[in-house]
Chains A and B, each alone.
Chain A
């Protein structure tokens, strides 16, 4: 499903965030990408999501080589992913429901069906009763659950997250971990960059350890 071969990312100025990383993630796997700060976790997530391009090496997702992808094809590749960020990237000028509706509007779903699916996603993360609330009125844990609802509403093949439990209290972090485990159980490929020790200790999947931009 995701195959990286000698993946390297060098930023302008010469900093090498990833140096020849190779790995394979199979469909339906749960993989935690771990490592200290600056190990290259976030860079790897950005490369998988096509937010950034590798300097060299190849990265194949669902049979498509992302390194050789045309710019115009990138949005369609991104729709295969459910992306979750540490800072959630929610839109605070609209309701929780409208935030979850956005990926469905991008996909061009008819409004009624989109609302039905968005409400189902909110229900899945326990936020249906707060669908009209502005994200700013939600707690940190609720905001992260809202971000997860937005990520899964389009039924992605890969759930890709970057530090989704950072800045959350223990209970909220446990909720988020449970949600990821639930999605993994129903066959979604889950890839999470994290340094959440509780998650690493009780990981039910595989681990990809990075250190100084290399697989440790």
Chain B
């Protein structure tokens, strides 16, 4: 075990030294990898922000539950208790008097409301489900509608479906982009490692003659590929963060023009770690492919 660890430590050290030995080449490779990872990562975060925007849009993923006009207080309490029993929703109660007051505040409706002999509005609950998938919303709507003394359940399902379809399309585009640029990253690492193997052909030949296993020869290159990919991933995270910072101002202003407030959220620590891990994995794969093919040429 000690020997195994010692060999891995030496291989890692060698990979770091090789990265540091050619800083300009390393920088160029990191830039290529970083940019290749930036585009899908930015797309992913943009979609994430859009999903958040959709969630925040007024009434977008809310369900309004209207109680029958003649329902007694105990019926309303019963509905409230049932809602409290659903662990995956948040809700608020809008009494019919409160609803009328809100309507009276509206310029267009004030006159009409004033002419009414009595309050025609029912008590209502505004429900915000945690799961905003269209199927889940539809299922919840149907369940709420089946409760006693519930007159009507309103869900703007068409809007939700359209928005969800748009998000799914965007997700697919990001996945395709990620696949394309991921392959590019593997190719970049493949080529870098191939050049390194060629430059170290003499060392590899001697090492094999004196008993080096393929694993021993492969190890520094694998670490190199993973390190290069991982650093490229971190660079991509930095680029995405920079781009989001640049966009934050104009997006905030745009949201304000529509009477809302919205702030783009930057990549979380887990996003950064995931990006570095994906970069490292792709770099490692590129290195494995390259060394395997090169070692075959040595046989």
CB contacts (< 8 Å) of B78 on chain A: these are none
- Knowing A91-B202, A106-B216, A108-B3 touch, does A83 contact B209 (C-beta < 8 A)? yes
Shortest distance between the CB of B96 and any CB in chain A (Å): 80
Interface presence of A10 (CB below 8 A): no
Q: Report the separation of the CA atoms of residues A110 and B213 in the bound assembly, to the nearest whole angstrom.
A: 18
Which B residues, 206 to 235, have Cβ-Cβ distances below 8 Å to chain A? 206-214, 216
Shortest distance between the CB of B156 and any CB in chain A (Å): 64
Whether B207 pairs with A106 at a CB distance below 8 angstroms is yes
Contact with B along A47-79 (1 / 0, CB 8 A): 001010000000000000000000010011011
Interface presence of B7 (CB below 8 A): yes
- Knowing A89-B206, A102-B206 touch, does A75 contact B213 (C-beta < 8 A)? yes
Shortest distance between the CB of B30 and any CB in chain A (Å): 25
Q: Report the separation of the CA atoms of residues A49 and B209 in the bound assembly, to the nearest whole angstrom.
A: 8
Interface presence of B6 (CB below 8 A): yes
Whether A111 pairs with B6 at a CB distance below 8 angstroms is yes
Q: Report the separation of the CA atoms of residues A72 and B213 in the bound assembly, to the nearest whole angstrom.
A: 7
Q: Report the separation of the CA atoms of residues A106 and B216 in the bound assembly, to the nearest whole angstrom.
A: 7
Whether B211 pairs with A79 at a CB distance below 8 angstroms is yes
Whether B203 pairs with A78 at a CB distance below 8 angstroms is no
Contact with B along A99-119 (1 / 0, CB 8 A): 000110111111100000000
Whether A106 pairs with B206 at a CB distance below 8 angstroms is no
Question: How many contacts A-B (CB < 8 Å)?
Answer: 57
Shortest distance between the CB of A87 and any CB in chain B (Å): 11
Shortest distance between the CB of B292 and any CB in chain A (Å): 13
Interface presence of A150 (CB below 8 A): yes
Whether A51 pairs with B209 at a CB distance below 8 angstroms is yes
Interface presence of B205 (CB below 8 A): yes
Whether B206 pairs with A75 at a CB distance below 8 angstroms is no
Interface presence of B24 (CB below 8 A): no
Shortest distance between the CB of A115 and any CB in chain B (Å): 13
From B2, B4, B211, contact of A106 by CB (8 A): B211
CB contacts (< 8 Å) of B2 on chain A: these are 110
CB contacts (< 8 Å) of B247 on chain A: these are none
Task: Specify which of B10, B202, B212 lies most central, judged by the most chain A CB atoms within 10 Å of its CB.
Answer: B212
CB contacts (< 8 Å) of A93 on chain B: these are 203
Q: Report the separation of the CA atoms of residues A109 and B213 in the bound assembly, to the nearest whole angstrom.
A: 15
Q: Report the separation of the CA atoms of residues A78 and B31 in the bound assembly, to the nearest whole angstrom.
A: 42
Closest residue of chain A to B10 (Cβ to Cβ) is A105
Which A residues, 20 to 51, have Cβ-Cβ distances below 8 Å to chain B? 49, 51
Closest residue of chain B to A99 (Cβ to Cβ) is B206
Closest residue of chain A to B4 (Cβ to Cβ) is A108
Closest residue of chain A to B14 (Cβ to Cβ) is A105
Shortest distance between the CB of A110 and any CB in chain B (Å): 6
Which B residues, 1 to 24, have Cβ-Cβ distances below 8 Å to chain A? 2-4, 6-7, 10
Q: Report the separation of the CA atoms of residues A51 and B208 in the bound assembly, to the nearest whole angstrom.
A: 9
Whether A89 pairs with B209 at a CB distance below 8 angstroms is yes
CB contacts (< 8 Å) of A108 on chain B: these are 3-4, 6-7
Shortest distance between the CB of B261 and any CB in chain A (Å): 59
Whether A75 pairs with B212 at a CB distance below 8 angstroms is yes
CB contacts (< 8 Å) of A103 on chain B: these are 210-211
CB contacts (< 8 Å) of B3 on chain A: these are 107-110
Contact with B along A138-154 (1 / 0, CB 8 A): 00000000000010001
Q: Report the separation of the CA atoms of residues A102 and B202 in the bound assembly, to the nearest whole angstrom.
A: 13
Shortest distance between the CB of A78 and any CB in chain B (Å): 4
CB contacts (< 8 Å) of A79 on chain B: these are 210-211
CB contacts (< 8 Å) of B207 on chain A: these are 102, 106
Task: Specify which of B4, B202, B209, B216 lies most central, judged by the most chain A CB atoms within 10 Å of its CB.
Answer: B209
Whether A107 pairs with B6 at a CB distance below 8 angstroms is no
CB contacts (< 8 Å) of A91 on chain B: these are 202-203, 206
From B4, B6, B7, B210, contact of A102 by CB (8 A): B210
Q: Report the separation of the CA atoms of residues A103 and B209 in the bound assembly, to the nearest whole angstrom.
A: 10
- Knowing A91-B203, A106-B216 touch, does A78 contact B6 (C-beta < 8 A)? no
CB contacts (< 8 Å) of A83 on chain B: these are 209-210
Whether A76 pairs with B7 at a CB distance below 8 angstroms is no
CB contacts (< 8 Å) of B211 on chain A: these are 75-76, 78-79, 103, 106-107, 154
CB contacts (< 8 Å) of A106 on chain B: these are 207, 210-213, 216
CB contacts (< 8 Å) of A78 on chain B: these are 209-211
Shortest distance between the CB of B223 and any CB in chain A (Å): 15
CB contacts (< 8 Å) of B4 on chain A: these are 108
Contact with A along B244-269 (1 / 0, CB 8 A): 00000000000000000000000000
Interface CB pairs A-B, < 8 A, 9: A49-B209, A51-B209, A75-B211, A75-B216, A106-B211, A106-B213, A106-B216, A108-B4, A111-B6
Top 4 closest pairs, chain A to chain B, by CB: A108-B3, A79-B211, A78-B211, A75-B213
